[in-house]
Amino acid sequence: MNEIINFFEQNIEIIYLLTFAVFLGFEIISKIPTVLHTPLMSGSNAISGVVLIGAILVIRVTEPTNYFALIMATLGIVLGTINLVGGLAVTSRMLEMFNKKKK
């Protein structure tokens, strides 16, 4: 039981930050009209890049025994990479729509 309490005491700031980010992200995304989702995808690529850099920095400074922070940083790297690659693919397809077709 003491291990669980110590776990939460060590990571309370990360848990609060993660909870706040989830609620804030949901509220912001739910207010955006559907028409703007594709253009904003290219803007979110920059945010995914920041997430990747932040997660790499967290992994570098985290103690090897802090499994929660390591798991969250690894999850940030994986999900940030998926979002970045998907966003670049969508942006590329969107830009192809504006190219004139070759005859």
What is the secondary structure of the chain as a DSSP string? -HHHHHHHHHHHHHHHHHHHHHHHHHHHHHTS-GGGHHHHHHHHHHHHHHHHHHHHHHHHHS-TT-HHHHHHHHHHHHHHHHHHHHHHHHHHHHHHTTSPPP-
Instruction: Report yes or no: 43 and 29 within 8 Å, Cβ to Cβ.
Output: no
* Amino acid 78: pLDDT: 92
Q: What is the pTM of this model?
A: 0.58
pLDDT > 70 in the chain, percent: 87
* Amino acid 35: pLDDT: 65
**Of 80 and 100, more confident:** 80
